[in-house]
């Protein structure tokens, strides 16, 4: 038994190597062995995976992806119209099967110290399927944007419309205005490619958005009343939690409706996927604010440039903008605790930096330091319309604290602090080229999954490959900055900021 287990481990390793090591990088005998192993196991996996969407093979656990036929049996299937689309060549391998998967973890330990037997998670690969479950002539799709703004929202809407129209011949595509409440409050807006032609060049969301307004029964009743059978929900973690409830209610009622989420968060705090759309644009725009703060700081005697960036629960924008800029002396994010006074505190660090260089640039994510900012009793329990705790302005608080500190310790010395908050400038800009390309692939990959009959999922890149992920997993997963990995160490080696650990 022990020998068989070891064999399985080595076979899995060989398969992994054959998938991820370029063929020209290893000698021909090993190349033959790996190719043969991969071919055998791929055929074996295809046979088993075709009969199950929740299995464990060679220590790989394929996550179950809900299909409408899981709860509705008498549904007609159709040949994918891409077969007759002049812009596509449906050569062998074009259509994906249940055997096409994406691994969540592709790191392999070649030292012989193999990881624990916990199965490595895998997800169905995104893309077109040979058989679809929706007749394009009867599809009535709804698209809604919820929550805050993010670069790329209009691009996603545009590409959903264009993709449904051009790839599958869908003609009834509707936009829902003003977020979740729009389902039961406003009339849907009929969309077509001509109408949305230039939306990708515009910031914000033309469909308009709002927070809150989630009433499950009213929303699902409205979906039924309007005859929608495909619902595309674009929003952040709160919106995704709402999408889970809508999906579960649709399934409970056994409705012939596919519900899909498209995760939107400029903070890049969605778990599992590589990154969320709009993040690259946000980092690029954040650098402009950092550059301005640096110019202001170095142009003054004892000048400090203070920049507050988005990031309620994670500091990805602050971290990546800092690494890209190289002008930042200290970066404060929600994942680390910091303190002001005493040895190893922020004030001592800034004092030393001002003495050394004459200026300093400080970047802080909006969710940083919330536990040390004084609050009134009413502020402690205050929530926004989405039910999130209301954050105090850490940037304004830091500016005040820094002024008080300098006036107390250096009363007769010049001191200047410039506070820049570019939040709404960043959120409202159109997506850059990288994010526009990402939004296009994201929207089209999502359409393929919905047309194939999958439901209750989100689409996103995992290790560079687009995959379908159960929406309830994404709604719960968080993408935190790992302050123990190489990227954070690299930043600290560049800035030499303190680790804020009290001695």
Q: What positions carry a catalytic annotation?
A: 267
Place of tokens 């994942």: 335
Annotated binding-site members for substrate: 265-267, 310-312, 366, 424-427
Asked whether 322 and 333 are in contact (CB, 8 A), the reply is no
Q: What is the dihedral of CA 211, 216, 218, 224, to 10 degrees?
A: 120
Q: How far apart are CA 366 and CA 315, in angstroms?
A: 9
Best CA proximity match to 125, nearest among 277, 246, 19: 19
Annotated binding-site members: 148, 211-212, 236-239, 265-267, 310-312, 366, 424-427
Q: What is the dihedral of CA 26, 29, 35, 37, to 10 degrees?
A: -120
Q: How far apart are CA 454 and CA 243, in angstroms?
A: 14
Q: How far apart are CA 363 and CA 491, in angstroms?
A: 13
Best CA proximity match to 314, nearest among 271, 360, 346, 349: 271
Annotated binding-site members for ATP: 148, 211-212, 236-239
Q: Which residues pair with 242 in a beta bridge?
A: none
What is the enclosing helix (H) or strand (E) of 365? strand 359-365
Pairing status of strand 101-103 against strand 78-79? unpaired
Phi-psi region of 447 (alpha: psi -120 to 50; beta: other; left: phi over 0): alpha
Q: How far apart are CA 240 and CA 456, in angstroms?
A: 10
Asked whether 178 and 185 are in contact (CB, 8 A), the reply is yes
Asked whether 207 and 145 are in contact (CB, 8 A), the reply is yes
Find the distance separating the first CA and the last CA of the chain, reported in whole Å.
Answer: 51
Residue 427 CA, chain-centre distance (Å), reads: 15
Annotated binding-site members for Mg(2+): 237
Asked whether 346 and 330 are in contact (CB, 8 A), the reply is yes
């Amino acid at each position: 038994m022990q020998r068989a287990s070891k064999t399985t481990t080595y076979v899995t390793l060989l398969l992994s190597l054959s998938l991820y090591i370029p063929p020209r990088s290893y000698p021909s005998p090993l190349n033959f062995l790996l190719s043969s192993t991969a071919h055998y196991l791929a055929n074996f996996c295809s046979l088993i995976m075709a009969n199950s969407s929740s299995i464990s093979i060679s220590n790989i656990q394929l996550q179950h992806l809900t299909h409408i036929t899981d709860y509705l049996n008498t549904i007609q299937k159709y040949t994918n119209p891409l077969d007759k689309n002049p812009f596509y060549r449906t050569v062998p391998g074009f259509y994906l099967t249940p055997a096409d998967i994406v691994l969540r973890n592709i790191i392999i330990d070649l030292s012989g110290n193999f990881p624990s037997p916990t199965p490595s998670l895998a997800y169905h690969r995104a893309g077109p399927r040979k058989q679809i479950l929706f007749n394009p002539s009867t599809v009535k799709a709804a698209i809604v944007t919820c929550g805050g703004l993010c670069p790329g929202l209009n691009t996603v809407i545009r590409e959903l419309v264009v993709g449904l129209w051009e790839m599958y011949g869908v003609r009834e595509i509707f936009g829902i205005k003003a977020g979740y409440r729009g389902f039961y409050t406003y009339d849907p807006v009929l969309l077509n490619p001509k109408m949305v032609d230039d939306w990708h060049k515009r910031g914000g969301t033309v469909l308009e958005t709002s927070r809150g307004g989630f009433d499950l029964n009213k929303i699902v009743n409205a979906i039924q009343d309007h005859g929608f059978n495909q619902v595309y929900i674009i929003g952040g973690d709160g919106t995704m939690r709402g999408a889970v409830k809508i999906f579960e209610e649709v399934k409970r009622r056994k409705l012939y409706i596919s519900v899909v989420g498209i995760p939107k968060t400029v903070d890049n705090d969605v778990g599992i996927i590589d990154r969320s759309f709009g993040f690259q644009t946000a980092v690029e725009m954040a650098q402009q604010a950092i550059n301005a703060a640096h110019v202001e700081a170095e142009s003054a005697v004892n000048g400090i440039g203070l920049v507050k960036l988005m990031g309620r629960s994670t500091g990805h924008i602050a971290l990546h903008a800092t690494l890209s800029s190289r002008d930042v002396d200290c970066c404060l994010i929600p994942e680390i605790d910091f303190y002001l006074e005493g040895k190893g505190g922020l004030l001592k660090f800034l004092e030393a930096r001002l003495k050394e260089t004459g200026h300093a640039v400080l970047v802080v994510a909006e969710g940083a330091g919330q536990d040390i900012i004084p609050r009134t009793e009413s502020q402690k329990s205050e929530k926004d319309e989405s039910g999130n705790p209301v954050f105090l302005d850490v940037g304004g608080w830091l500016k005040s604290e820094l002024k008080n500190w300098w006036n107390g310790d250096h009363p007769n010395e010049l001191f200047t602090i410039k506070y820049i908050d570019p939040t709404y400038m960043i959120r409202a800009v159109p997506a850059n080229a990288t994010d526009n390309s990402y939004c296009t692939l994201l929207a089209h990959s999502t359409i393929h999954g919905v047309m194939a009959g999958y439901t209750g999922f989100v689409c996103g890149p995992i290790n560079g490959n687009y995959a379908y992920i159960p929406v309830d997993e994404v709604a719960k997963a968080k993408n935190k900055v790992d302050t123990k990995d190489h990227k954070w160490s690299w930043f600290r080696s560049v800035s030499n900021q303190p680790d804020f650990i009290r001695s």
